[in-house]
Amino acid sequence: MGPLYALILAGGASSRFWPLSGDAHPKYLLRPDGKRTLLQMAFERASACAGPENVLVVTAGAQADGVRKALPALHIENLCIEPSRRDTAAAISLGCKVVAGRNSGADVLVLPADTLLEPGDALARAVDAARGQADFESAIHVFGVRPSHAEGAYGYIERGEPAGGGIFGVKSFVEKPGDAARALIARGFLWNVGCFLFRLDTFDRELAAHLPTHSNRLRPANPGAVTPEDYEGLQSISIDYGLIEKARNLRVCVVEATFDDIGTWDALLRSGSGGNQGALVTVAGRGNSVIAPGRAVAVVGESDLLIVADGERILVMKKGMGQQVKQAAQNAPEPKPDA
């Protein structure tokens, strides 16, 4: 068995956290516990699996400085910067190419930078179980947790035949089922936590079969650097749709953990961060939160509001309406300087 490397994908710029969104405020720099960023938590999770020296972060150029500041323990040579944003299939392929340059016989774990998966060592136990299987090297592994409630905005995995050690075949994937989530849970579906595990040569084989352009330009077995022009010319497609759902031999590893993809302000508050970064006064109301460092905010006669301020941009949201923030961000005008 080869060494294990971990790739953390840290290139997103979700508008669901407007006004703290875009390259200046990527989601993975939010602090669910008020202390550590989601990226720091992901780094700790990855380090428990592969060791900190074998953890790489794939990010966009505009976010590289933020990653460096958030992760002082990250080795500078382990920061992999995309020439342009081409979605997760390209980002993972680029990271695998870097890993292959160090050890072509390596195993690779891929994990997102912006989700919660606790306890922190739960993923490591599932990874060890998968790598302990006699035929591990022939399969691509995904990871799932048992749902705690019906969440229509998550992805789901249907388990197939058991392979032992909490590992199963994969029958199907369902993305964002909405009201059908409850029925999926009743049938034993798992939440998809967005992590993948494979040997480099197995990934190389599937990449060539399902994403030939990515393979020609980024396949791990091909030496040489990737030009920005070649990278920008790649189809923008997720690894899920482009490769995982088409792979020949898929398995799902059950992680004994709690999961939250922290997809909205509501999820961030639910995770334990009560806001209140800044001074908040509530009169004739209750349950309000504020994320406005250095500002004083007063709420009169209203309850269960979240107020977020960043420069000239201010969000006032009724708690429970986090899914609508993306629409507000799309329609919000750019602030104009005073004349």
pLDDT tens for each residue of 99-108: 999 999 999 9
User: Positive or negative CA dihedral for 88, 242, 175, 183?
Assistant: negative
Question: For the chain, what is the domain count?
Answer: 2
Full-prediction pTM beyond 0.85? yes
Rounded Cα distance between 47 and 52, Å, is 5
Please indicate, yes or no, if residue 131 is contained in any of the structural domains: yes
Rounded Cα distance between 159 and 147, Å, is 13
User: Which one of 208, 239, 263 terminates a domain?
Assistant: 263
Verify that 214 and 81 share a domain, yes or no.
Answer: yes
Please indicate, yes or no, if residue 87 is contained in any of the structural domains: yes
Please indicate, yes or no, if residue 339 is contained in any of the structural domains: no
Q: How far is CA 219 from CA 197, 287, 305, in A?
A: 17, 52, 49
Task: Read off the pLDDT of each residue in 283-298 and give the average, rounded to a whole number.
Answer: 93
- CATH number of the domain that 31 lies in? 3.90.550.10
Verify that 252 and 299 share a domain, yes or no.
Answer: no
Please indicate, yes or no, if residue 336 is contained in any of the structural domains: no
Cα angle at 186 between 184 and 189, to 5 degrees?
45
Helices 38-50 and 122-131, interaxial angle, to 10°? 30
Name residues whose C-beta falls within 8 Å of residue 49's C-beta, 6 or more positions apart in sequence: 4, 6, 109, 123, 124, 127
Domain extent for 282? 274-331
Give me the pLDDT at residue 333, please: 83
Question: Which has the minimum average pLDDT: 217-221, 280-284, 285-289, 301-305?
Answer: 217-221
pLDDT tens by residue, 158-204:
999 999 889 999 999 999 999 999 999 999 999 999 999 999 999 99
Question: What are the beta bridge partners of residue 68?
Answer: none
Verify that 250 and 295 share a domain, yes or no.
Answer: no
Verify that 177 and 296 share a domain, yes or no.
Answer: no
Verify that 150 and 296 share a domain, yes or no.
Answer: no
DSSP letter for 226, please.
Answer: P
pLDDT tens by residue, 215-260:
988 877 777 778 899 999 999 999 999 999 999 899 999 999 999 9
User: Which one of 263, 284, 319 terminates a domain?
Assistant: 263
Give me the pLDDT at residue 16, please: 87
Give me the pLDDT at residue 335, please: 74
Verify that 235 and 278 share a domain, yes or no.
Answer: no
Please indicate, yes or no, if residue 269 is contained in any of the structural domains: no
Verify that 107 and 137 share a domain, yes or no.
Answer: yes
Verify that 175 and 256 share a domain, yes or no.
Answer: yes
Name residues whose C-beta falls within 8 Å of residue 55's C-beta, 6 or more positions apart in sequence: 5, 6, 8, 43, 46, 47, 74, 78
Verify that 202 and 327 share a domain, yes or no.
Answer: no
Q: How far is CA 14 from CA 24, 56, 265, 308, 336, in A?
A: 11, 22, 11, 15, 23
Verify that 148 and 284 share a domain, yes or no.
Answer: no
Verify that 175 and 306 share a domain, yes or no.
Answer: no
pLDDT band at 61 (very low <50, low <70, confident <90, very high): very high
pLDDT tens by residue, 8-32:
999 877 788 999 888 888 999 988 8
Please indicate, yes or no, if residue 35 is contained in any of the structural domains: yes
User: Which one of 227, 242, 263 terminates a domain?
Assistant: 263
pLDDT band at 339 (very low <50, low <70, confident <90, very high): very low
Name residues whose C-beta falls within 8 Å of residue 77's C-beta, 6 or more positions apart in sequence: none
Verify that 62 and 193 share a domain, yes or no.
Answer: yes
